[in-house]
Amino acid sequence: MEQWSKETIVEFRRTLLAWYDAEGRDLPWRHGRNPYHTWISEVMLQQTQVQTVIPYYENFIATFPTVTDLAWAPEATLLKAWQGLGYYSRARNLQRAAQQLVTDYHGQWPETAAQLEDLIGVGPYTASAIASIAFDQVVPAVDGNAFRVFARLLMIDADIAKPKTRQLFTDIIQPIVDPQRPGAFNQAIMDLGSSYMTAKNPDPEHSPVRRFDASYRVGRVLDFPVKTKAPRPKLMPYYGLIVHSPAGYLLVQRGSQEMLSGYWCFPLVKQTDLRDEKQADEATEEMDLAVLREKWLRENQLALPLQLLGGRPVSHTYTHQRWQVKLLVAELAVTPSLDFLPGQWVAADRVSALPLPKVQEKMMARYEKQVGHAVFKEN
């Protein structure tokens, strides 16, 4: 690993911050040093690109201008504002932490990374980002960008997939953080990792810090950071039931113990729930449909003339699961009651007003493509 002298560290800070002052991205959450704005943006930016986040952030802040507004917002309003960003537990944790801030902290923000980590859903990176940007605490914000930038600059060969490696990087970066402008330093590292030092197709030759880049000097840029591959997401095959009656489409709200809790979607049935272990390898779609029809009649008192829609399954990948949803359709001439099913009949032009997960939007889009015209269009 490369070792920097005090003089090199001072020169690196000067070079990095001069570039950031001239070329740093103009992002809406960087206008001022509001910890609430920094917090919301950092949580949204987890697993999501900046250009995608900007309109979500602006709408979110307009909808919930203060921590108090967020703390006591109706869940449906919160989920609708988050719809499309994915990783929906983040939205719930935001609200729970907001309630913490209002009730336990009387609206006063903790000002150190250690204290901020006591908030629900706030991890080491987010805590350090808020503490440095909003409160000038001299701490490194170690995320994917920081891992990549400093692994290349210093040729750190520790595996960043291992949890203990975060502390190693924190200890290495800590003395490099600019003590006068820690927030700007961390944001400059974010911008560097998103421009000249990207994971793929980096441009180290034109990087403003290329003379500090040990991996560039020896032609090994793409060897860093070192990261073992994560296991592939587990395949989860489902059937999605598109049931239509004169009253609209059948939608159910996902339960508190399910993924996508609180969001509305077409009923989803795991294919494995329809198959006995002994016949799993021999099961066919016709057999599944027969079992599914019987199951819904027995458990929900609904007779569904389900038919396969056709076309490719809808695919959506979460961190540990890859859902593949085959769509089934049933057209009912009469609207049955839903006394035995926690669902609702929703008119086509009102479906989009509900908080919907991305997989539901994909199912709707696939259905509209198959029927040949827009169905779920708000007036």
DSSP state of 109: P
| Contacts of 305 by beta carbon, 8 Å cutoff, 6+ apart | 293, 330, 331, 332
Q: How far apart are CA 303 and CA 293, in angstroms?
A: 7
User: Any idea how long the chain is?
Assistant: 379
Q: How far apart are CA 6 and CA 214, in angstroms?
A: 17
- DSSP β-ladder status, 234-245 and 321-331: parallel
| Contacts of 321 by beta carbon, 8 Å cutoff, 6+ apart | 233, 234, 235, 236, 259
Q: How far apart are CA 51 and CA 374, in angstroms?
A: 27
Q: How far apart are CA 319 and CA 373, in angstroms?
A: 33
Kindly name the residue from 2, 11, 42, 258 that is annotated as catalytic: 42
Residue 47's alpha-carbon distances to 160, 299, 318, in angstroms, are 16, 39, 11
DSSP bridge pairs for 252: 265, 343
Q: How far apart are CA 359 and CA 75, in angstroms?
A: 19
Element containing residue 146 per DSSP (H, E): helix 144-154
Residue 307's φ and ψ, nearest 5 degrees, are: -135, 150
Left, alpha or beta for 89 (phi > 0: left; psi -120 to 50: alpha)?
A: alpha
Q: How far apart are CA 219 and CA 227, in angstroms?
A: 19
Element containing residue 52 per DSSP (H, E): helix 50-63
42 is catalytic: yes
The answer to whether residues 354 and 264 touch, using CB atoms and an 8 Å cutoff, is yes
Q: Which segments within 307-374 are labelled E, that is strand?
A: 307-308, 314-317, 321-331, 343-346
Q: How far apart are CA 250 and CA 241, in angstroms?
A: 8
Query: Is the peptide bond prior to 357 cis by the omega test (within 30 degrees of 0)?
Result: no
Q: Which tokens belong to 67?
A: 């921590």
As annotated, the active-site residues are 42
